[in-house]
Structure 1
Amino acid sequence: MNIDSQAMENILLVDDDPLTLALLATTLRQAGYTVVTAVSGLEALVAAEREAPDLAMLDIDLPDMSGLELAIKLRDLQGLPFMFLSAISDAHIVETAVEYGAVGYMVKPVDISSLMATLKASLARAEEIKRLRKTESHLTNALATGREISIATGVLMAHYRTDRHTAFDIMRSQARSQRKTIREIANAVLSAEETINQFHTAIQAKKKNV
């Protein structure tokens, strides 16, 4: 089999059958992939944290936990995309795998040509998911940052009866002088405002009790 020099993705291969594990690992390595193997769910979790693979290929039946359980852990803990290998061709299992977020599903014994095609499609889908998550994360951070700065600017405008440009310019100057980001200064303003409001509430309550 020719080695594809462009295929350098790291695959986490998990199967408790030593023969199947060895065959698949050898095949994938010959195709140019980096392969990390594991024979149990716990071993897979440790390997995933250590190696940071691009995709996990999981057997449905494992000795310490099901492949579905392992998939959830890998997804929730590390955001790792996964596909399943199973000796059972069951519509319900396939449907469940899709619901869990699997990017691929193959029935054993695996046909090598089908395996490579499915793997490439799964890796493409995994890369798409990673890009979407990264974009979503950046968007969330940007929106959060913009919201915090906007609110903090409004707080300064209200307290010091100034315009928005002046309030923002003051925060930017403070950020430069303190070697902090504008977001950090905005958070400090909001934190101070919250503390003042707490004191105000406490003082008002005390006045009522006098």
Structure 2
Amino acid sequence: MSSAQTADTMTATTSLSPSPSRRILLVDDDSITLDLLSHIFHHAGFATSKAASAEAALSSVSEQEPDLALLDISMPGMSGLELAKRLQVETTVPFMFLTSNNDIKLVREATESGAVGFLVKPFEHTQIVPAVEAALARADEIRQLRRTEANLTAALAAGRETSMAVGLLMAKLQTDRNTAFEVLRDYARSNRCKLNEVAQELLAAEERISTFKTMVANVRTKR
């Protein structure tokens, strides 16, 4: 293997397409494979970055996260599987694997690591772009699910806080739930605040009052 194949290199290739390109990070210690894949993706309208090692890939990602990383599994030093684990922990970059190994166990391990797809060498050139497009679509679905899950979690948390604040008002004002909710809502509207923000403030104030009550009780005990 030549020194060009083992050196840590990163070369940006910009698509000729006038529209914004999706960027793919290609990671392989074989410079011939890197150049071939870069050429194929370039003409398919993608922008690419190349890295000849996992370490070079991490450096590239720290500067600009790609839309997808295509990782060779077997590389000297840090393997593609190890790099994938780093990407999962440290970034939000989706990844797929490139391997010349047909071993079922290795493919299963790659899939379980969170890969959105994989290509097996020797690959048909006509299969590369469709496989990457499918991986990108899968990555987009995962991102959307994560956003939806985050929004749902926030909504549920806000709902719990509002419900607790309504219960607190019911107890303090000796009123029914509907009236307590209307009071909370009207206060939020008149002060141009979100309902859950008012609920948070109310719960925080009650917690402070409880703390002061405890402190007062402690002072009286010491007398």
| TM above 0.5 | yes
Report the aligned-residue RMSD: 2.8
Give the match's secondary structure for 2:26: strand
* 1:119 corresponds to: 132
Q: Does the C-alpha gap of structure 1 residues 72 and 173 become closer, same or farther in structure 2, counting only changes over 3 Å? A: farther
TM-score (norm: length of structure 2): 0.78
Give the match's secondary structure for 1:12: strand
* 1:77 corresponds to: 90
Q: Does the C-alpha gap of structure 1 residues 4 and 88 become closer, same or farther in structure 2, counting only changes over 3 Å? A: farther
The answer on whether the counterparts of 1:103 and 1:125 sit within 8 Å (CA) in structure 2 is yes
TM-score (norm: length of structure 1): 0.82
Q: Does the C-alpha gap of structure 1 residues 158 and 44 become closer, same or farther in structure 2, counting only changes over 3 Å? A: farther
Q: How many residues align?
A: 208
**Residue ranges of structure 2 left out of the alignment (5+ in a row):** 1-15
Q: Does the C-alpha gap of structure 1 residues 186 and 21 become closer, same or farther in structure 2, counting only changes over 3 Å? A: same
| Aligned match for 2:32, one of 2, 16, 19 | 19
* 1:53 corresponds to: 66
| Aligned match for 2:111, one of 98, 118, 133 | 98
| Aligned match for 1:68, one of 69, 81, 85 | 81
155-164 or 26-35, which moves further after superposition? 155-164
Give the match's secondary structure for 2:66: coil
**Residue ranges of structure 1 left out of the alignment (5+ in a row):** none
Q: Which amino acid is 2:169 matched to? A: L
Give the match's secondary structure for 1:36: strand
177-186 or 114-123, which moves further after superposition? 177-186
| Aligned match for 1:167, one of 180, 186, 189 | 180
In structure 2, C-alpha distance between the alignment counterparts of 1:120 and 1:46, rounded to whole Å: 25
